[in-house]
Structures are given as structure tokens and as C-alpha cells.
């Protein structure tokens, strides 16, 4: 059973999300919060598998909550999906960099949001390759100038190559095909890279790879 926490300051939004989640056989809402402080308290009491998080909330907003979660190793297992009314913008990039597993728009089709919850609960990134490339390619240049990435010098040559491919938004299967490796081997490399770079999610690894200027060889 996938346990979901809702954090949004609009009651109608929370009601809609609750109905959507609770009608699925494999997931249920375990709590609601109207701001980041309430969400943090709920997470510390009983960590959910997935947090559906609004960015703009009174008091502690979504970005501050994400940074707080990232700083607490005990809460590292909570996967976060940012649910926003905005198109891709600075807030979304910052959310991914802070450790969110991805994002969806509030007008996303119900079936897509349900799929997103399952994907993130399984430990994968929510973003499709096309969205990932557009997001990182546009906003990494605008709001995240190139800078050193901690742990980059600890990567092996193969790990740097894998990180560069992840930065393009490709799936493990796509990377495996390109490098003539098995998906399981790619998955192992990705896990090691995430550990060395301190990435909490694949989406965050995409951001870090881009900020480090890693690109696959031609």
C-alpha cells in the first residue's frame, strides 16, 4: 500500500487529491497539511511513502520544506512530487534541485497523477525524458550557473559517462542500449553515482549532472 500525504493550503485541492488517491486499491491518503510546518510535523510522526506538495503555501513553503527534508537523513525515504499550477519555472527547478522526485501540474489528467505516484513510490524519477531535457536545458542555464559539484571527482570514468547520460533524461533502458550494457548494470551505476553525489532522486541527479557540465560523448 502506497501511503500518501497531501500538503496544500487550498482545501478544495486537497479534497480532490484525496478522492483521486483513495479510489485506488494500492494507495491511500494518510494525512493532510495546510503548510510546510504541518507537513513536516506529520512526516516526523509517521513518514509517508509519497508527499504531494504545493510550492506556494503560507509560513513554511514547499521549497523550505524540501530543504528541511533533504537535511534530515532520517526522512530521506520520503518521495516528493511537487503539484503546481505553474508551468515549468524557477520554482520547479529549485524544487528538483532541493530533492523533489518530480512535478505535475494541477490540471494533469487523473490517470497521469496516479501513475506519477506509483512511479515515484518505486524510486524512479517522475519526469519524462522530454520534460527533463526541456526543464534542465532551459532553467539550469538561467538560474543555476555552472558550479563545482561535491563528489564529482570521486566518480569513475564509467560513472561520469552514466551520469552524463542520465542528465539527458534518458531511461536506464535507453542508456543500456546506447552503451551496450544491461539495464541492471546501468541501474547499479546510477545508484552508485547518486550515493557519491548525494542525490536524493534521479531528478536531482539530472540537475547535478547538468550543473557539472557533463555531456555524453558524441
Tell me if 139 is assigned to some domain.
no
pLDDT score for 132: 60
Write down the pLDDT at residue 206. 82
Domain membership flag for residue 12: yes
In a domain, 7, yes or no: yes
pLDDT value at position 204? 79
* Domain contains 154: yes
User: Do 97 and 43 reside in the same domain of the chain?
Assistant: yes
Dihedral-angle region of residue 92 (phi above 0 means left; psi in -120 to 50 means alpha; beta otherwise) = alpha
Q: Are 164 and 205 spatial neighbours (Cβ–Cβ below 8 Å)?
A: no
Could you list the residue range(s) of the whole structural domain that residue 175 is in? 145-211
Instruction: Examine the fold and report which residue of 97, 126, 155 is the final residue of a domain before the chain moves on.
Output: 126
Residue 140 belongs to a domain? no
Calpha distance 203→95 (Å, rounded): 10
Residue 158 lies inside a defined structural domain of this protein: yes
Q: Does 120 reside within a domain?
A: yes
Q: Are residues 30 and 57 in the same domain?
A: yes
Residue 155 contacts residue 120 (beta carbons within 8 Å): no
Cβ partners under 8 Å of residue 167, min gap 6: 136, 205, 206, 209, 210, 214, 215
Q: Is 193 contained in some domain?
A: yes
Q: Give the domain CATH number at 24.
A: 3.40.50.2300
Residues of the chain falling short of pLDDT 70: 86-90, 125-147
Global pTM value: 0.72
Please name which of 132, 43, 28, 41 lies closest in space to residue 80, comparing C-alpha atoms.
43
| 83 & 160 share domain | no
The predicted structure's pLDDT at residue 163: 94
pLDDT value at position 130? 53
Q: Are residues 120 and 188 in the same domain?
A: no
Residue 135: the pLDDT is 62
What integer pLDDT is reported at residue 84 of this predicted model?
A: 80
CATH of the domain at 158: 1.10.10.10
- Tally of structural domains, the chain: 2
Which residues, other chains included, contact 51 with Cβ-Cβ below 8 Å and sequence gap of 6+?
4, 5, 7, 39, 43, 78, 79, 80, 81
* 177-196 as b/e: b if 16+ CB within 10 A: eebebeeeebbebbebbbeb
Amino acid at each position: 500500500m502506497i501511503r500518501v500525504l497531501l500538503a496544500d493550503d487550498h482545501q478544495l485541492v486537497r479534497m480532490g487529491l484525496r478522492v483521486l488517491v483513495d479510489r485506488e486499491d494500492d494507495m491511500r491518503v494518510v494525512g493532510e497539511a495546510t503548510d510546510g510546518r504541518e507537513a513536516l510535523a506529520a512526516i516526523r510522526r509517521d513518514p509517508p511513502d509519497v508527499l504531494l506538495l504545493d510550492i506556494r503555501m503560507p509560513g513554511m513553503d514547499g521549497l523550505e520544506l524540501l530543504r528541511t527534508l533533504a537535511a534530515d537523513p532520517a526522512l530521506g525515504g520520503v518521495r516528493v512530487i511537487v503539484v503546481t499550477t505553474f508551468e515549468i519555472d524557477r520554482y520547479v527547478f529549485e524544487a528538483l534541485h532541493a530533492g523533489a522526485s518530480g512535478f505535475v501540474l494541477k490540471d494533469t489528467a487523473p490517470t497521469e497523477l496516479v501513475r506519477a505516484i506509483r512511479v515515484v513510490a518505486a524510486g524512479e524519477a517522475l519526469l519524462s525524458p522530454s520534460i527533463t531535457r526541456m526543464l534542465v536545458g532551459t532553467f539550469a542555464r538561467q538560474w543555476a550557473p555552472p558550479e563545482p559539484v561535491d563528489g564529482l571527482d570521486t566518480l569513475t570514468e564509467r560513472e561520469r559517462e552514466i551520469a552524463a547520460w542520465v542528465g539527458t533524461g534518458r531511461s536506464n533502458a535507453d542508456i543500456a542500449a546506447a552503451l551496450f550494457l544491461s539495464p541492471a548494470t546501468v541501474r547499479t551505476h546510477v545508484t552508485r553515482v547518486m550515493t557519491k553525489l548525494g542525490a536524493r532522486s534521479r531528478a536531482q541527479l539530472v540537475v547535478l549532472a547538468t550543473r557539472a557540465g557533463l555531456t555524453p560523448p558524441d
